[in-house]
Structure 1
Amino acid sequence: MARLPDGDRRLLLACRFGHAWLPLLRHAVSIQAARAGLSGVRWDDFVLAVHEAAVNAVGHGGGRGELRLWRNGTMLCCQISDDGPGAEAGMPNGAHLPSLDGTEWRGLWLIRRLSDEIAITSGAEGTVLRVSFRLPG
């Protein structure tokens, strides 16, 4: 499982999860996002983006994942990693709306639209998706 980048020391939440834990994970993320200062639509967007990433980790990354949530200065960051086989070649980066006749990659598109910053790495050891949101003030 992936570690926090060097210098990020304000860890708010860290856990491993599977499908059965997704509702509890969403609740825990929502509490920490509010404590960090997100509210209203920004709070909703953060919780939804993280939830979509966690659902993708479970659905496409081997059935489980790991979440790390931290505050880095003026940003609230969340990293979701999995030990799955990695994304297939040609995976869209979420920059364009997927076709309306399918459901593949809609979560990634939504995460990209909601987040201030997003980074994705994927390979044989799994996938790591990091979302960051600017905090108010």
Structure 2
Amino acid sequence: MTGFLNGDRQSLLACRFTHTDLPRLRHMVAWQAARAGLAGMRWDDFVLAVHEGSVNAVGHGGGTGRLRLWRNEAALCCQISDDGPGALAGRLDGTAVPEPDSTGGRGMWLIRQLADEITFASGAEGTLLWIAFRLPG
């Protein structure tokens, strides 16, 4: 982890989730993002990026995921992890615009467009995704 993801952390949320928890998880993330100082489009973008990462964890990572949300002096950060088989090579890159007729790949691309920082690691034990958004001020 680099940049915004480092520094002293104030833990805001830590939980496990499944597909049925996604709506409630989105509400909890939205509430914490507002409390941390994100507003307007930045708030929307953070909530959407975390939601996309959570959907990916459930859909591609064995049906469950874990989320940790924290803030430091500069950013609101999120770690999403799963216990799936790991992502296919290049699947998490997300730097190319997905083809209009493709059935996947938009989540990671969208997260990359929205976040100030994104880092990931994937292997046989699962996938870790870190997302950071700069806080105002």
TM-score by length of 1: 0.93
Question: Which ranges of structure 1 fall in alignment gaps of 5 or more residues?
Answer: none
- Tell me the residue number matched to 2:39: 39
Given that 1:8 and 1:70 are in contact with CA atoms closer than 8 Å, whether structure 2 keeps it comes out as no
Query: What is the CA distance between 1:7 and its match in structure 2?
Result: 5.3
After superposition, residues 1-137 of structure 1 pair within 5 angstroms as 8-137=8-137
Write out per-residue CA displacement over residues 16-74 of structure 1, whole angstroms, 9 at most, x where no aligned residue: 00000000000000000000000000000000000000000000000010000000211
Given that 1:15 and 1:67 are in contact with CA atoms closer than 8 Å, whether structure 2 keeps it comes out as yes
Rounded Cα–Cα distance in structure 1 between residues aligned with 2:103 and 2:131: 21
**Kindly tell me: are residues 6 and 77 of structure 1, through their superposed partners in 2, closer, same or farther at Cα, counting changes over 3 Å?**
closer
Identity rate, percent: 68
Rounded Cα–Cα distance in structure 2 between residues aligned with 1:8 and 1:64: 28
Rounded Cα–Cα distance in structure 2 between residues aligned with 1:6 and 1:94: 23
Rounded Cα–Cα distance in structure 1 between residues aligned with 2:65 and 2:58: 6
Helix, strand or coil for the counterpart of 2:15? strand
Partner amino acid for 1:101? D
TM-score by length of 2: 0.93
Aligned-residue Cα RMSD (Å) equals 1.4
Given that 1:68 and 1:79 are in contact with CA atoms closer than 8 Å, whether structure 2 keeps it comes out as yes
Deviates more, 1:81-90 or 1:49-58: 81-90
**Kindly tell me: are residues 69 and 108 of structure 1, through their superposed partners in 2, closer, same or farther at Cα, counting changes over 3 Å?**
same
Query: What is the CA distance between 1:90 and its match in structure 2?
Result: 3.2
Number of aligned positions between the proteins: 133
**Kindly tell me: are residues 92 and 74 of structure 1, through their superposed partners in 2, closer, same or farther at Cα, counting changes over 3 Å?**
closer
Write out per-residue CA displacement over residues 58-98 of structure 1, whole angstroms, 9 at most, x where no aligned residue: 00000010000000211000010000000012325111111
Given that 2:8 and 2:73 are in contact with CA atoms closer than 8 Å, whether structure 1 keeps it comes out as no
